[in-house]
Amino acid sequence: MMLKVQNKKIEVRDLGLKDYKETWDEQERLFKEILDLKVKNRRENTKRETPNYLLSVEHPHVYTLGKSGDISNLLINEKQLEEKGASFYKINRGGDITYHGPGQMVIYPILDLDNFFTDIHKYLRLLEEAVILVLQDFGIKAGRSEGETGVWLDVGTPFARKICAMGVRASRWVTMHGLALNVNADLGYFDNIVPCGIKEKAVTSLNVELGKTTVDIEEVKKRFLEHFKILFNIDY
């Protein structure tokens, strides 16, 4: 049996404000690069290291619908999308519909989980934990809502609200897509969808919770990367 070579290094790429489709194409390219190398290693019985990437980005206004999502959860038509300066894509991640836009920290880890652990459930829980710890750094108590992926505030109360959405894709233990944490998000855009297909639950943003006009998103990214590094035992 061939021994696995584990590469704990992750290359972080901050893409700034970038079009959703362009970023999705970049994700697909990196995802395929890792998958192709894994296939080649197995076919040739070689032990070349597989790379890992983490993309950090903000998107112009866009709605994305996961492969198991319901299009009826998009509450506006094509003309209204255009009026709001938003685009729409059906994509190949799990989950239902969500919104991305300026003021939102979007993280796409493209990892070979063979380098870390082969457990998707654990992977999702650690992504949530990294966000929960970031929010804790800002004095916000957050947690999980049973059966609903993502990070929530005031779970189990009538005031439950979502602050971070998640949806991933994995093949042969290689991941793509990821999470979106509302930092300075325009929450009005969420009124045009049933977020993640979950009715009658509110959405919030870090700046709203802190009572601030804006929060330093670069500081939020920095803290996320610090917690992610410890939780996944990685090197940058």
Q: How far apart are CA 47 and CA 4, in angstroms?
A: 7
Is 144 assigned to a binding site?
no
Q: Where are the domains of the chain?
A: 11-232
| 194-230 pLDDT, tens digit each | 866 566 679 999 999 999 999 999 999 999 999 999 9
d(C-alpha 81, C-alpha 73), whole Å: 14
**Record: fold of 11-232:** BirA Bifunctional Protein; domain 2 (3.30.930)
Q: Is 196 a catalytic residue?
A: yes
116-163 per-position pLDDT tens digit? 999 999 999 999 999 999 999 999 999 999 888 899 999 999 999 999
Residue 95 in marked binding region: yes
Measured between alpha carbons, how far is 225 from 236 in angstroms, rounded to an integer? 9
Query: Looking at 107, 168, 196, 215, which residue is catalytic?
Result: 196
Kindly report, residue by residue over 10-61, the tens digit of the pLDDT: 999 999 999 999 999 999 999 999 999 999 999 999 889 999 999 999 999 9
Note the pTM of the prediction, 2 decimals.
0.93
5 pLDDT more than 80: no
Find the farthest-apart pair of alpha carbons in the chain and give their distance in angstroms, rounded: 58
Q: Is residue 46 a known part of a binding site?
A: no
Instruction: Answer positive or negative: Cα dihedral of 18, 21, 84, 212.
Output: negative
Which residues have CB under 8 Å from 199's CB, separation 6+?
A: none
User: What's the Cα-to-Cα distance from 45 to each of 32, 33, 37, 48, 174, rounded to whole Å?
Assistant: 19, 18, 11, 10, 19
Amino acid 201: pLDDT: 73
Q: Is 100 annotated as a binding residue?
A: yes
Known binding residue 197? Answer is: no
Predicted confidence band at 94 (pLDDT cuts at 50, 70, 90)?
Answer: confident
